[in-house]
A and B are shown apart, each in its own frame.
Chain A
């Protein structure tokens, strides 16, 4: 496997285990690589749209579907109560899909802010009320992924 793929797998593992986005140094320590090499791997992963870094830094903002910052979309895993923020409703629903475990999705209505709760299965099923709005056409999603 390439360094970039090793870094990708390890950063997701640490993100899921700790609930916070790991720094290049965190990932480097586990992989036995230098922080500089892992920083470069982060940049290549970002250039390849695998992760999103905070502008001008090597700090992870998004490792989709996970968000490094609190959002109005959170997945609470049914098995152990661990929770992770998603970048949007698509990503929040992607967390149980990625982990192969059911979760409760806690969200807020984009209009009135009222709390909403959904039950998402590991198989792509969902129970609960609501509709989804995508604001930006698919061809332009990566023009500004943070706003999409």
Chain B
């Protein structure tokens, strides 16, 4: 999961490496990171279920096939 200066830089990197994935805004990544990790140090933390992860992705608008878990 890489950070790029702009979509133009992503395109250059894609052409060079042949890798194709999903591009999305930095702000969405920050919201995802917060939702994912904010309770990581809680004594009762546990891994999310697939249903919970899918609900989280949907809440953040991450609904393309790329984000599907099954």
Which residues of A are in contact with B by a Cβ distance under 8 Å?
1, 5, 8-9, 12, 48-50, 64-65, 73, 88-95, 97-100, 107-112, 114, 116, 118, 120, 123-126, 128-139, 148
Asked if B4 and A130 make an inter-chain contact with CB atoms under 8 angstroms apart, the answer reads yes
How many Å lie between the Cα of A89 and that of B27 in the bound state?
12
9 nearest CB pairs, A to B? A124-B34, A110-B2, A94-B37, A93-B33, A88-B1, A126-B30, A111-B9, A135-B21, A111-B13
Asked if A90 and B5 make an inter-chain contact with CB atoms under 8 angstroms apart, the answer reads no
Asked if B26 and A110 make an inter-chain contact with CB atoms under 8 angstroms apart, the answer reads no
Asked if B33 and A97 make an inter-chain contact with CB atoms under 8 angstroms apart, the answer reads yes
Asked if B25 and A49 make an inter-chain contact with CB atoms under 8 angstroms apart, the answer reads no
* A109 contact set on B, CB distance < 8 A: 3-5, 9
* B23 contact set on A, CB distance < 8 A: 131-133
* B1 contact set on A, CB distance < 8 A: 88-91, 132-135, 148
* A110 contact set on B, CB distance < 8 A: 2-4, 9-10, 13
**Which of B16, B25, B65 is the one whose CB lies under 8 Å from A137?**
B65
How many Å lie between the Cα of A100 and that of B25 in the bound state?
22
Scan B44-55; emit 1 where CB is below 8 A from any A CB, else 0: 010100000100
- Check A116/B30 contact, CB under 8 A, given A111-B12, A133-B22: no
How many Å lie between the Cα of A93 and that of B38 in the bound state?
11
* B25 contact set on A, CB distance < 8 A: 131-132
Closest to B44 in A: A5
5 additional contacts, CB 8 Å, given A93-B33, A116-B3? A1-B43, A98-B41, A123-B34, A131-B10, A132-B1
How many Å lie between the Cα of A95 and that of B40 in the bound state?
10
Q: 13 A-B contacts, Cβ less than 8 Å apart?
A: A12-B41, A93-B34, A109-B3, A110-B13, A112-B12, A124-B33, A130-B26, A131-B4, A132-B2, A134-B21, A137-B22, A138-B66, A139-B69
